[in-house]
Amino acid sequence: MPTIAGPSSSPHKHIVAARSENTGVPEVNTPRKRKLRSDSAAEVASTAIVTESSFATPMKWKSPRRCAVSSPKTLKKEDSKGKLDSPVMSAVKDRFDCLDVKSKWNPREDDQMKAVKEALHVSKAPSTVVCREDEQRRVLEFVKGCMEQKKAGSLYICGCPGTGKSLSMEKIRQQAEDWAQQEGLPCLETVSVNCTSLTKTTDIFSKILGESETGKKVNGPSSPLQQLQVLFSQKQQSSSTKMMLIIADEMDYLITRDRGVLHELFMLTTLPFSRCILIGVANAIDLADRFLPKLKSLNCKPLVVTFRAYSMEQILRILQERLVELPYVAFQSKALELCARKVSAASGDMRKALSVCRSALEILETEVKGSTEQEPQSPVTEDQVVKMDHMVAALSKTFKSPVVDTIQSLPQHQQIIVCSAAKAFRGSKKDRSIAELNKLYTEICKSSMITPAGITEFTNMCTVLNDQGILKLSNARDDKLKRVSLRVDEADITFALKPSLEMSAVSISSVKSNLSAVKAIAVTHHRPPPSFRCPSSLASLSTTTSLHCNDVSSISRSKLLPPSRLHPIKSSPSPTPSLAADSSVNQLTKFKEAAEKGNLVPLYRCVFSDHLTPILAYRCLVKEDDRDAPSFLFESVEPGLQASNIGRYSVVGAQPTIEIVAKGNVVTVMDHGAVRRTVEEVDDPMMVPQKIMEEWEPQRIDELPEAFCGGWVGYFSYDTVRFVEKKKLPFSNAPEDDRSLPDVHLGLYDDVIVFDHVEKKAYVIHWVRIDKDRSVEDNYTDGMYQLESLVSRIQDQKPPKMPTGFIKLRTEQFGPKLEKSTMTSEAYKEAVLEAKEHILAGDIFQIVLSQRFERRTFADPFEIYRALRIVNPSPYMAYLQARGCILVASSPEILLRSKNRKITNRPLAGTVRRGKTPKEDLMLEKELLSDEKQCAEHIMLVDLGRNDVGKVSKPGSVEVEKLMNIERYSHVMHISSTVKGELLDDLTSWDALRAALPVGTVSGAPKVKAMELIDKLEVTRRGPYSGGFGGISFNGDMDIALALRTMVFPTNTRYDTLYSYKHSQRRREWIAHIQAGAGVVADSNPEDEQRECENKAAALARAIDLAESSFLETPVVTRPRINNVLE
């Protein structure tokens, strides 16, 4: 404990922490807890800590985050004279007897003042880095492990500024070098780079190559990065090759300037013969969310260590460690504690605490110099140390908001208006009219004995406050009807007006006494009393506005409390409260019970969702510029008599822990958790996720909603049928694969967010995979950390700004027609005629022929999805980012649903538009059900569905539950039927999916023969179209939608072009693939089938038109000119 003076005592009485060799004082091991107590008890406790620090008795810190010492369990009772008799006090007395007293502090001495300032300067590196022992240990163990195994590795250190990251890295470097020398290992080659000092971001590779022991020259035919890649891709001849420790500080600079350099830097550690140990340091908490998913997809998963913001106890301890070296006392103990408390609440930045202390020291210096000029010979008093008032002034100078200065400089009446607004909007975000605010303003003025301004002058003052950004006025013809809202925080108003509030009690009492006297005189002389103005500008605001001085401290503290203190990563300043904490499985006892029964246990938080939408939650998890991050958003609108009825649940997920990508029979499995990537050729790729799921024993929690709560999510292409029908439908007979999209892409999502739109709440879910090599408590702790991290990400302190989009219902003038297709109109008609020949020959009864249209657009796929929700709402709406493409879907039909071993197939065929009136709607329904052609097609598809379900169901369990029902959607109505069955005991949902893919509504009947003809008549592979997308839960339940009304945006080809855009300077031109088909039967007309394909594709293109009209401005140049530039 450093040498600090009490509030009213001499520095000599407290100089007990000076370091000494021989003290003869017994060790004091009793820790203490900071709590309210009497002054004498507090003094003894403080002395106990001093003694512990002085005599090298270790203090017992509760945790690295809270370096708070505990309180003594027992204290000696007072003797008859009222003095405390304890070993600690005896030790202090003995110490005073045997130690020389420190020199007296004299702030007038330049050398002493300079020494204190240097001790508090941020550039002075202390001998030890305290309060970061745990973080340093983790990083050092990581470096030691890499050196012992001679393997490369990467570690990412994040945290708020001023949390000891850079200083800790320097200590770790020294410790690693010393440890290597002790263990007889080759010395480390150390490269320390501050990324902000680089002229070019790529210079970091030159520096690394220059420090390499190979001695290769940087300048050569290839770049330094290429030379490093070659160097680490070849086996080194010498077995004693040194490991290289790369410490890249200020890494957040790279992601701002050149993210590619950041990726390549981390990827150096993944090369086969790399010897790099990379430690990246960044002053950001959310930086990992922006680039780690990309690294994970590239088989690079850095270890993440977070340096938390310093707590009050930690800041106080660090300040004391710096001051303990001084031979005199310069700070009062309570002043240091105040500094530590305020800085920890605001940011936890140690550099800020040092700056505040130096500022307080300068205030004291100015004060001492002023008194010296007035009385040069005056002696130095004992209390000329930095006290509470100096620290309060320094804190105010450091943390004062510009808004506070503005409010404090306002005239009296404008201050009253601001205070009236604060009272009017307390606890409410609603606006008020000018008249309502004026009424409250008048009441405050009258209670303060201040003449209020008229309504015209009041409105003018509100306009001035609107111009200054304090109030916000809406437009209205009548001034009294203008709406007023508050733009500044109530805490800023309270803090700004605090001096006036503190004066109010004195002012009111004095005014009232004077007024009483005047009234008495007036009564005697029969004259009315004069109108008095209160000496304080806001004399009675403390009583009329309820902005008490007690509120100031609490409001200020809540305002200064940083988001990082509420959640491990980032969080909202006003975090969403949890609902029914008892119902969530976040208690360790319940977790242990579940862990005994299985190895996959969910943890969840239930939060209010009235401030959050699925769209906003998705954008919080996946940044706008990260189009390669696998993620999904599932929403639903149920069919009904009305245009649409919103589905109960929406599901959002991002950052899968495992990915499966199948192309033909080659399957790539990327395990991001284990940082492992395997590529193998298998007979049936759809068996791979099934085998992985067999390793799990998930524990279903009853409190979770009846929706998808975690598991596999992705798509299955039309060509997955070739895994089953290998002889009749081999890949060699498939049409041209011009896009090279995966046949199957699945991601395993442990983290999902389920929105319950009925109960207005959201379930934030994280599945914990129980590691048997670790204790249940450790699994629980890690799981809760991941869960809280997920919660904090959707409560982002700065929610992502998404384009508002102005919906224009008439969009005919936007966007060109779908003129480009994989088949010309004549070629498609010829294919229809050829198909009819096979039907007449008896080869097939029906076939669905499709063609793929192409549309270029500068609208973003996510914006198009937002538009599609308006243009064509449906039961299966999805925005799915996968490998190689993005799917934007609005499917009306399920491919397969499996729940509790009950499987469902719902053929949907037969379509007619919706009526403009209810009467016309019923008339069109009757016409549809009386259409023999459409009804015959539907019955044929019902038979196909019964056949698909019957392949995997128990005998006698297959039934047609609903036959030829009408389902209404926003623009059309369909004939639908429901076929159900019970799964065979030896089969799983995956077997049912194999039997169903693809359904007859997109192929034909008989299904296999129709698909053989499709291979001959269609010119390109279908890809995701007419396949399926959806989710497979951990318990095996499956809900897969048919990939109809689905747009595919390939992500492997990109075009960066200049384009006028509302919310950015540059846009990417996307290619939207819209595929549509028509059912061909014996009496089909080729013209009608061609028109049907065009109309179906045009319905989806309307979403692109709406997105362009809502989110894009008119191009700077005409579209043909842009195309010419591209060419």
Residue 366: CATH number of its domain: 1.10.8
Assigned token pair, 232: 């680490």
Give a yes or no: residue 801 inside a domain.
no
Answer yes or no: do 925 and 1045 share one domain: yes
Question: For residues 164 and 132, is the Cβ–Cβ distance under 8 A?
Answer: yes
- Decide which of 256, 284, 307 is a domain's last residue: 307
Answer yes or no: do 611 and 680 share one domain: yes
Structural domain range at position 439 = 403-500+538-557
Question: For residues 283 and 159, is the Cβ–Cβ distance under 8 A?
Answer: yes
Residue 419: CATH number of its domain: 1.10.10.10
Neighbours of 407 (CB within 10 A): 23
Answer yes or no: do 756 and 843 share one domain: no
Answer yes or no: do 988 and 928 share one domain: yes
Give a yes or no: residue 1010 inside a domain.
yes
Q: Please give the span between the terminal C-alpha atoms of the chain, in angstroms, as a whole number.
A: 73
3-class secondary structure per residue, 973-1035? EEEEEEEEEEECCCCCHHHHHHHHCCCHHHCEECHHHHHHHHHHHCCECCCCCCCEEEEEECC
What's the pLDDT at 609?
Answer: 84
Give a yes or no: residue 410 inside a domain.
yes
Name the strand (E) or helix (H) holding 433.
strand 432-433
Residue 293: CATH number of its domain: 3.40.50.300
Assigned token pair, 1009: 């023969």
Answer yes or no: do 425 and 388 share one domain: no
What's the rounded Cα separation, in Å, for the pair 571 and 794?
A: 8
Query: Which amino acid is located at 702 in the chain?
Result: D
- Decide which of 399, 425, 449 is a domain's last residue: 399
Is 1045 catalytic? The answer is yes
Answer yes or no: do 333 and 192 share one domain: no
Is 974 catalytic? The answer is yes
As a dihedral over the C-alpha atoms of residue 1054, residue 1056, residue 1060, residue 1066, rounded to 10 degrees, the angle is: 100
Taken as a whole, the chain contains a residue count of: 1127
What's the pLDDT at 392?
Answer: 87
Answer yes or no: do 390 and 426 share one domain: no
- Decide which of 265, 280, 307 is a domain's last residue: 307
Answer yes or no: do 225 and 145 share one domain: yes
Query: Which amino acid is located at 780 in the chain?
Result: Y
Catalytic residue among 275, 974, 1021, 1102: 974
What is the maximum span of the chain, computed from C-alpha positions, in angstroms?
123
Give a yes or no: residue 599 inside a domain.
yes
What's the rounded Cα separation, in Å, for the pair 391 and 362?
A: 10
Residue 767: CATH number of its domain: 3.60.120.10
Catalytic residue among 494, 544, 720, 1001: 1001
Give a yes or no: residue 944 inside a domain.
yes
How large is the angle between the packed helices 203-211 and 224-231, nearest 10 degrees?
40
Answer yes or no: do 56 and 115 share one domain: no
Give a yes or no: residue 77 inside a domain.
yes
Indicate the SS3 state at residue 562. coil
Tell me the pTM. Answer: 0.51
Is 749 catalytic? The answer is no
Answer yes or no: do 295 and 342 share one domain: no
What's the rounded Cα separation, in Å, for the pair 1069 and 1060?
A: 12
Mean pLDDT for back-to-back runs of 10 residues, the chain (1127 residues): 39 37 39 38 39 36 38 40 42 40 74 87 80 90 90 89 88 90 86 84 84 52 80 73 87 75 87 89 71 76 88 90 86 90 86 90 86 64 80 82 77 87 73 84 83 84 86 77 83 72 43 42 39 36 34 32 31 43 56 87 88 89 82 81 65 93 91 84 90 87 85 94 88 87 94 91 92 84 86 72 62 56 91 93 90 91 90 89 93 88 85 83 88 82 85 88 81 84 89 85 87 92 93 91 92 44 58 91 88 86 87 50 33
Q: How far is CA 87 from CA 19, 30, 93, in A?
A: 19, 11, 10
Give a yes or no: residue 815 inside a domain.
no
Assigned token pair, 717: 């292409």
What's the rounded Cα separation, in Å, for the pair 459 and 468?
A: 14
As a dihedral over the C-alpha atoms of residue 867, residue 868, residue 870, residue 874, rounded to 10 degrees, the angle is: -160
What's the pLDDT at 593?
Answer: 85
Query: Strand 244-249 relative to strand 189-194: parallel, antiparallel, unpaired?
Result: parallel
Give a yes or no: residue 2 inside a domain.
no
What's the pLDDT at 905?
Answer: 86
As a dihedral over the C-alpha atoms of residue 849, residue 855, residue 861, residue 863, rounded to 10 degrees, the angle is: -120
What's the rounded Cα separation, in Å, for the pair 313 and 67?
A: 6
Catalytic residue among 6, 280, 1000, 1079: 1079
What's the rounded Cα separation, in Å, for the pair 11 and 368?
A: 17
Indicate the SS3 state at residue 154. strand
Q: For the chain, how many structural domains are there in total? A: 6
Answer yes or no: do 919 and 981 share one domain: yes
Catalytic residue among 876, 879, 1025, 1059: 1025
Catalytic residue among 852, 1045, 1067, 1073: 1045
Is 23 catalytic? The answer is no
Answer yes or no: do 350 and 427 share one domain: no
